Amino acid sequence: MKRYIVNSFNILKNISKNKKHGIVLYNMIFPLWLLWIFPVTWIVVLPANLLIDLLVLSLSMRCLKLDGRKEIAKKAVLKVWIAGFVSDFIGTIMMICAVLIDSFLDYQSPLGAWWYENMTNAVSLNPFETLPAFLWTAACILISGICIYQLNFRLALKKAVPDTAIRKKLALSLAVFTAPYLFLLPTAWFF
């Protein structure tokens, strides 16, 4: 991480010396997927995620024509909400790993330069820029989705929905519709 900050300041020095190359300070901006870690954003994120989880749970139960939907929702929604945050956190850790791996590589080596250009910058700014960055981001979303499914199936819905088949369907629905697809949102659009 220290080397990453040093590289950022070296780029800044190069810009002041050589302005005609048009270097952009991509690594000086925090990626959008890191914003949810900061407590200020939690004021909006926490209630919004609760509402989304409740909506997906309610609509899924309605589609499955379950009886006692209100009771199930009351018993499970907070656990579903927590399971979603834990799963998103796991995906975020994976996203951060793409940036942290860069700090262990020699920037002057071919592998270090490739990783920086194709993974660190692309994952942080625009996952659609390179295929490796897109695959990394998609894998992070998939891992989060699998965690959402497992945590909901094994923990959050276990007492509220004793029927295993229905619990699997609800957990799958939550995993598909509440996976952190915003990881794909290019932060480059915002600056």
CA distance linking residue 144 with residue 160, whole number of Å = 23
Q: What pLDDT shows up at residue 189?
A: 80
Instruction: Report yes or no: 62 and 69 within 8 Å, Cβ to Cβ.
Output: yes
Instruction: Pick 5 or 105 by higher pLDDT.
Output: 105
pLDDT digits (tens, 9 = 90+) for 20-73: 444 333 333 445 455 555 657 677 878 999 999 999 999 999 999 999 999 999
pLDDT class for 13, splitting at 50, 70, 90? very low
CA distance linking residue 67 with residue 95, whole number of Å = 40
Instruction: Pick 130 or 40 by higher pLDDT.
Output: 130
Averaged pLDDT of the chain: 83
Instruction: Report yes or no: 88 and 144 within 8 Å, Cβ to Cβ.
Output: yes
Residue whose C-alpha is closest to residue 146's, from 75, 95, 86: 86
Percent of the chain with pLDDT over 90: 63
Q: Which of 20-24, 151-155, 176-180 has the lowest mean pLDDT?
A: 20-24
Sign for the pseudo-dihedral over CA of 81, 92, 191, 186: negative
